[in-house]
Structure 1
Amino acid sequence: MQYKLLGKSGLRVSELCLGTMTFGDDWGWGSSQEESKTIYDSFREAGGNFIDTANVYTNGTSEKFLGEFIASERDAIVLATKYTNGLGDNNPNGGGNQRKNMVQSVEASLKRLNTDYIDLLWLHIWDFMTPAEEVMRAFDDLVRAGKVLYIGISDAPAWVVAQCNTLAELRGWTQFVGLQIEYSLIQRTPERELLPMSRTFDIGVTAWSPLAGGWLSGKYTKANATSEEGRLDSEMMKGFLERSDRNIAIAQEVDKVAQQIGKSSSQVALSWLLNQGVIPIIGARKISHIEDNLQCVEVKLSPEQIQQLDQVSQIELGFPHDFFKADMVRNFAYNGAFEKIKNHRYSQLMD
């Protein structure tokens, strides 16, 4: 396992992050405490130090399990959890991005995790109600109090993240160093705005559902396509990912590359993400899943194989991105000198 800095911070995190939404079976699926511990131990033995959970995962059981697992090595773990989502008690302030929910959620997470501080606190989902000033000042207060060390944002538009970080920079408050998004060979729409924004602001990117709910693992394209595992993954992603000719074609291309190099489809899909400079969040219900996924760091895709995967999964960037690439537009914008200055960072963002 290699390590990298998370965004423009000095925080060293492993190139894979362990997602723990499956720790606990409170939701009718997931892993027992014993199986969860085995998965955690395997991740640690491979060198992983970046662990991701949330206040609502398996009704708080995920955080409770992790609190026990990390107790003897707390300082070695980069522990990330989230606030925003409520536990379903219909309390109007029991969910959302506002300061009250942030504070009460963090206090509850600290108790479940049995720790004094959270390394990385994610805002889970942007609520379109709370002012950016309130969110960023509340985050900064938690950092100054020592209860949170770094902050990140998940599932939000690029303009929201840019607004929040610009505001924080101007006010001298803590800025987001991490961005969590749905990203995979099947879900590449973050390339339109979120990924260029993260590069501009130097925000580290983590990808949830890196295997697209199992689509990129071979479960739906091979002999075991109707297995119980495949059915469960499909139910978990219901409403997020539909069966389509495009998704099948992408999954089959992943299978093809995997066969060429003698690796699993999951390893190929995760390796593609690593090549994008993204940290995949790998989750598992069984030890066999995590053991397979961890080996993706040893997969080396050739430029030709990356191109194969890029082509089958490419999306239309739409306006204004396609507009920027038109020769006439470039000739006007660069006064005919685009080829001479195309290595400039702004033109790289457009490419």
Structure 2
Amino acid sequence: MNNLPKIALGAWAWGNDGTFGGSLTADTLRPIFDKAMENGLNLWDTAYAYGMGTSEKVLAGFVKDLPRDSFLISDKFTPQCADASSPTAMKDMIEMQLKLMGLDRFDIYWIHNVWDAPKWTEELAKYFEGKDNVPMIGVSNHNLAEIKQADEILKAHGLKLSAVQNHYSLINRSSEDSGILDYCKENDITFFSYMVLEQGALSGKYDTAHPMPAGSARADSYNPILDKLEVMNEALGKIADKYGVGIAQVPVAWAIAKGTLPIIGVTKVSHVEDAVKAANITLTADEVAELESVADGLGLNVIRFWEKEMK
């Protein structure tokens, strides 16, 4: 698909799971959607798992009166949300999601995680084999061997793997070190990077004097390493100053410079405005190398509890 924007917008928090507070409603999210569409950021990443349909329903309300070719929807098959014992689990999930969103097709459809993934990839392939309007098919949170396996399963049904979505940031480049990025480039697979800002740790908003609010999973992960993150954010700040942007725009611009398509969660209009600025920055090879040198020198491991090393 050649019409992808430089950045996808994530509607994970639109599921109102409490991660970012419980004050997100369709009314508060509507201006965010409108601002994004005005600026050509029209790729929306959602999943049934995000609030058991809540995120999808909110998004459906926003796209229902728009021309179908004016927006792109990325949705997911989450095995844990399906009736695994049913022989029609894949069909049931996809068609339930399409109905929920009032759509006749998705633009990208993912196997959300590796739980029994070969089985579900096979089911996905069987569902789309020979159909019109086949979306880009992707896998998320897969390592290189699992990605290759998914590709083989799809090829056996006349389909291809078109997308991979993994945690990827300046301080977690395991998808690069393991050869996943190279494999994607060689096989015309779009690599979607999520958590490029490490849930705010690379935004310049937090430091040893201003830690993340205690009691959250991200605080448990990042507060103990804020001294090292200060060093990273200082390096990001120098480049941000050069381009006249905020620190948070630089990790996103870095992810774009690496040939990936970052997914940015948006819960405020300012998040969209920041994404637009990031999409307009083109870092030099020297700037990319400089940032990576600083990151590598910190020796951080920020693989989260739901993930694994990609090597």
Q: TM-score, normalised by structure 1?
A: 0.75
Of 264, 269, 280, which aligns to 1:282? 264
Determine if contact 2:75/2:108 at 8 Å carries over to the other structure: yes
Residues 47-62 of structure 1: pairs in structure 2 closer than 5 A: 47-62=40-55
Quick one: which of 224, 233, 245 aligns to 1:243? Answer: 224
What is the CA–CA distance in structure 2 between the aligned matches of 1:70 and 1:246, rounded to whole Å?
42
1:157-168 counterparts in 2 under 5 A? 157-168=143-154
The reply on whether 1:135 has 2:105 as its aligned counterpart is no
Structure 2 residue matching 1:122: 3-state secondary structure: strand
Note if contact 2:110-2:138 (Cα within 8 Å) is conserved in structure 1.
yes
2:166 to 181, 192, 214: 181
1:163 Cα offset (Å): 1.7
Distance 2:297 2:157 in 1: 38
What one-letter code is carried by the residue in structure 1 that aligns with 2:127?
A: D
Q: Partner of 2:187 in structure 1?
A: 201
Residue 46 (structure 1) aligned with residue 39 (structure 2):
yes
Checking the alignment, whether the CA contact within 8 Å between 2:171 and 2:295 is kept in structure 1 is yes
**Structure 2 Cα separation of the partners of residues 303 and 121 of structure 1:** 33
Equivalent residue, structure 2, for 1:269? 251
Give yes or no for the alignment of 1:79 onto 2:73. yes
Alignment equivalent of 2:83, drawn from 94, 104, 111: 94
Instruction: Report the more deviating stretch, 284-293 or 61-70.
Output: 284-293
> What are the superposed Cα offsets for residues 45-94 of structure 1, whole Å, 9 maximum, x if unpaired?
1112211101111221110011111112222212110112435xxxxx53
Which of 270, 273, 276 is 1:294 aligned to?
Answer: 276
The one-letter code matched in structure 1 to 2:286 is: E
TM, length-normalised to structure 2: 0.84
Task: Tell me, yes or no, if the aligned pair for 2:8 and 2:264 is still in contact at 8 Å.
Answer: yes
By how many angstroms is 1:24 displaced? 4.3
- Give the superposition deviation at 1:247: 3.4
Counterpart CA distance in 1 for 2:213 and 2:271 is: 16
1:310 to 271, 286, 292: 292
Aligned partner (choices 99, 103, 106) of residue 115 of structure 1: 103
Alignment map for 1:338-349 (pairs within 5 Å):
none
Is the 8 Å Cα contact of residues 24 and 33 (structure 1) preserved in structure 2?
no
Q: Structure 2 CA distance, aligned partners of 1:46 and 1:71? A: 19
- Whole-angstrom distance in 2 between the partners of 1:260 and 1:207: 24
CA apart distance, 1:222: 8.7
**d(CA) in 2 for partners of 1:148, 1:207:** 23
Q: Rg bigger for which structure?
A: 1
- Following superposition, the deviation at residue 307 of structure 1 comes to 2.4
Quote the Cα distance in structure 2 between the aligned partners of 1:99 and 1:50.
31
The offset of 1:168, in angstroms, is 2.9
Q: Match for 1:86: what amino acid?
A: Q
The 2-side partners of 1:66 and 1:302 are apart by 36
Q: Which runs of 5+ in 2 are unaligned?
A: 299-311
Distance in 2 separating the partners of 1:144 and 1:160: 24
User: Which secondary structure does the structure 1 equivalent of 2:13 belong to?
Assistant: coil
Structure 1 residue ranges without an equivalent (≥5): 1-9, 88-92, 317-351
Does the CA contact (< 8 Å) of 1:152 and 1:176 recur in 2?
A: yes
Most deviating of 102-111 and 15-24: 102-111
CA pair 242-145 structure 1, distance change in 2 beyond 3 A: farther
Q: In the comparison of the two structures, how many residue pairs are matched?
A: 294
Q: Is the 8 A contact 1:140 1:174 kept in 2?
A: no
The Cα offsets for residues 293-337 of structure 1, whole Å up to 9 and x where unpaired, read as 221122233343222202111389xxxxxxxxxxxxxxxxxxxxx
The corresponding residue for 1:218 is 204
CA distance in 1, matches of 2:8, 2:94: 21
Q: Which amino acid aligns with 1:243?
A: P
